Structure 1
């Protein structure tokens, strides 16, 4: 995507990246200024390219374009971090002092010191109103953030310096907000009796576990399945976003030979062998030396959002996808990533008590959507990582890359999770509860015809459902030769009526 016209000049981040020769993950919004023509924009695959009229040209200085970027391109902490590495502090000081009370100048000052941990030679502000680091109308922000009296800025960011993602308030996220999703779930759940919901729960745990393993093409044995279900049952009660608990969880769900006692110490990646000694690299994980800081930041971000009034869906998306992108263990990262969705949604009271969302079943049924949610970060990341592979497939990352993992824009992942949750509620949950309710109806009708043991009733219903409501002659002979023709006909009709089969 691109608007290639000779009278269009890049502005904001686009100008600064070009001027400072920075290779970066593209911002979701790219600005150009035209000397002629009208204001217009193009939207493609979630990216916006906007052309402004000539009077919007901000000027020629770095400060001018930083202010333009914050105003029109939005806050991109990763790009700001890279820009601040290249820009002389004196240039920034001069610009900030030229607009000492301007909110964008103060934000630039605050972001510089937040990201670099260096102080600019500027005196603390002593007067003026406080402004938010992020505009709450445009971004998901924590409530009651810390006040930085030096900048007169309220730090309402989602995380600390080590891990501070951004999630923009899009139209899709506004429609699929946590309150609306929970309300829809409660409407469905209240239509069924409590005893049926209790029975459904074990089905849902099994479905989620089976689906989570299948996504990774892993055949789980009975022991690991039971351990994963036991962990899911604990997800309602315990906060697993602690280093020790994550390690314990990883040890429970992987082959004991691949259990970790700490975060990984080797460089790993996701790839596919396409020819002899040739790998197609799909994702590059953070360098192992960057992991301790990144994971400490991720867990701190979790605690910040837990008490910061953040929407449960946004909270779950940031931490669960953040975890899988950091990939802290040698094995089990994907299953833990999906487990954390349940853990956070439960802790934040998004899921009614006594129910769980088989989100992995929806991801398994919609693999392209799930892959897209991962590739929204993994694909552009590949463009900014320099690496080499030796003949044994060992990877070495050769450039500094931590900032790309520290400051992700996770809007795409939040949107994807919102869609998965909606489908889980309206498809998987409804399907499971309806099946059990229909089963109870069929079972009662059959028992009114003949008083059979539960085991045989269950088998009869299952075999009929496999053949559109009819029992085959072979299955009748093998399991139900004691039934009269009249009894069989009535029982088959009971199953058809209960499940509305033709």
Structure 2
């Protein structure tokens, strides 16, 4: 297959970088178009040479900005070659971007460059990418508008799903929904959200929290509104609150290598499913990540920021334990940092993630699977391994977060439009049934609550086994009344809303 652009450079220079999601290939067509996961390029458009710089400039124009490949490839190009290209087109948009990045990644200066004139140009096309705040470089008259900093920058393409997510204003709708509830209903719904966010965040890790663990995690979630900036000290405190074993509690970012494992190969090297960066790279990576996580939620769409912060944290894996549930807390923390969720309000994203674990894993694997291929793992026996990292830390500093952000928007929508609304609807139905039975019968509160829950979960039926269990406490007519009232409430809820009613009707619980 004849490649062009980034993939040609990646192969020609043997770069330890993740392959482009849509590599450019030469096809017998008349115009550039996306075909079957590739960017098909007509032969007459492809550069006539395999010179790496020529293809990098071609890629910047036609494929967008791949920071990981650019960071690895540009330092391999001599300064003289960069200057020659620049002198041929001193005001060219793409050569200026390449020269700016060359100086950034080599730490050197292109001496004797011609004067740059003309307007400032964006590194990232705002029509193609979600962009960050402007950061103008006068030397190259270039605006760095990436998500993060030049040292830690992820890319998010404006796919239809991302565009729809930004337009949907989930946090604004969450506020409107919470404001529409009475104080008592709001408190009950949020109490449910905090408890189930805790239980499901642990459940994703295949754990069931004890009462003490649950209490601590709920307290942790409520801390997210306090506005304390992320630091190593604070993250260590957070990690310690999510794990129970004394030997699992961190005192600093890890100084050991960790890894994730899956089944198979009896614990051999192929069972290692992901390898986070080596410990000596963690301090710098975390400094850059924290700078992003502390500022981005107020600068860009909060769910974009929350998705990047959450996934970026788990890819670095700065602790030996507790990274997964802490990453999900950080999603919530970013939403709180944005200032768009009022104090005490929680969007139960982990509840939604638990319902969609396969999609969660798929989103994580868009980075973790190709990143794993860039680490040579050798078994040392007894569950120990040697790791040979083919790539440097650019692998973890420049990554494509598009899938993570698409997933983040989907889960935020689910958390509001299914989880919160459905639970509130459930509570409203429960209250209506309880009031109706209370008006007719004298039933102990806890017993009535149990039977109403059984009837609602059974679609309006209390099984014969449940009836027999509680028969000594109640006459049969009470069971019949609870069933009848439950069916009536559920049937009314299932009716289509009036044309003027924009209320949400959840799917069956």
Q: What TM-score, normalized by structure 1, do the two folds share? A: 0.91
Partner of 1:17: 10
Residue 112 of structure 1: how far off its partner (Å) = 1.4
Partner of 1:107: 97
Partner of 1:171: 160
Residue 216 of structure 1: how far off its partner (Å) = 0.8
Deviations 1:247-283 (A, max 9, x none): 1010011023200101111111111242445242211
1:28 matched to 2:21? The reply is: yes
Mean Cα deviation higher: 53-62 or 253-262: 53-62
User: Relative to 1, partners in 2 of residues 1:480 and 1:289: Cα closer, same or farther, differing over 3 Å?
Assistant: same
CA contact (8 A) 1:59 1:65 kept: no
Residue 152 of structure 1: how far off its partner (Å) = 0.8
Residue 378 of structure 1: how far off its partner (Å) = 0.8
1:232 matched to 2:224? The reply is: no
Deviations 1:41-65 (A, max 9, x none): 4555xxx312222331234233321
1:39 matched to 2:50? The reply is: no
Partner of 1:443: 434
1:371 matched to 2:361? The reply is: yes
Secondary structure at 1:147's aligned position in 2?
strand
1:52 matched to 2:13? The reply is: no
Deviations 1:435-468 (A, max 9, x none): 1111111111111112444323212212333544
Aligned-partner Cα distance in 2 for 1:221–1:382: 34
Map 1:47-86 to 2 at 5 A. Answer: 48-60=37-49, 61-86=51-76
Residue 94 of structure 1: how far off its partner (Å) = 1.3
Secondary structure at 2:251's aligned position in 1?
coil
Partner of 1:265: 255
User: Relative to 1, partners in 2 of residues 1:125 and 1:195: Cα closer, same or farther, differing over 3 Å?
Assistant: farther
Aligned-partner Cα distance in 1 for 2:391–2:372: 13
Mean Cα deviation higher: 413-422 or 116-125: 116-125
Partner of 2:129: 139
The size of the alignment, in residue pairs, is: 489
CA contact (8 A) 1:271 1:283 kept: yes
CA contact (8 A) 1:125 1:149 kept: no
Residue 304 of structure 1: how far off its partner (Å) = 4.0
Secondary structure at 1:397's aligned position in 2?
strand
Aligned-partner Cα distance in 2 for 1:234–1:312: 18
User: Relative to 1, partners in 2 of residues 1:157 and 1:197: Cα closer, same or farther, differing over 3 Å?
Assistant: same
Map 1:96-495 to 2 at 5 A. Answer: 96-123=86-113, 125=115, 127-143=117-133, 145-177=134-166, 179-186=168-175, 188-239=177-228, 241-255=230-244, 256-279=246-269, 280-307=271-298, 309-351=299-341, 354-392=344-382, 393-472=384-463, 475-476=466-467, 478-479=469-470, 481-495=472-486
**Which 5+ residue runs of structure 1 have no aligned equivalent?**
none
Deviations 1:134-180 (A, max 9, x none): 1221112223x222111111221222344221112112100111653
Residue 204 of structure 1: how far off its partner (Å) = 0.7
Mean Cα deviation higher: 421-430 or 458-467: 458-467
User: Relative to 1, partners in 2 of residues 1:334 and 1:153: Cα closer, same or farther, differing over 3 Å?
Assistant: same
CA contact (8 A) 1:161 1:297 kept: no
Mean Cα deviation higher: 188-197 or 412-421: 188-197
Secondary structure at 2:25's aligned position in 1?
strand
Aligned-partner Cα distance in 1 for 2:465–2:7: 71
Aligned-partner Cα distance in 1 for 2:35–2:198: 38
Aligned-partner Cα distance in 2 for 1:470–1:210: 28
User: Relative to 1, partners in 2 of residues 1:412 and 1:42: Cα closer, same or farther, differing over 3 Å?
Assistant: same
Aligned-partner Cα distance in 2 for 1:258–1:269: 15
CA contact (8 A) 1:236 1:343 kept: yes
**Which 5+ residue runs of structure 2 have no aligned equivalent?**
495-509
Deviations 1:89-126 (A, max 9, x none): 22112112221111111111111122332222244746
Deviations 1:303-324 (A, max 9, x none): 34244x3111110111110000
Aligned-partner Cα distance in 2 for 1:434–1:491: 18
Secondary structure at 1:469's aligned position in 2?
coil
Residue 240 of structure 1: how far off its partner (Å) = 5.2
Residue 201 of structure 1: how far off its partner (Å) = 0.6
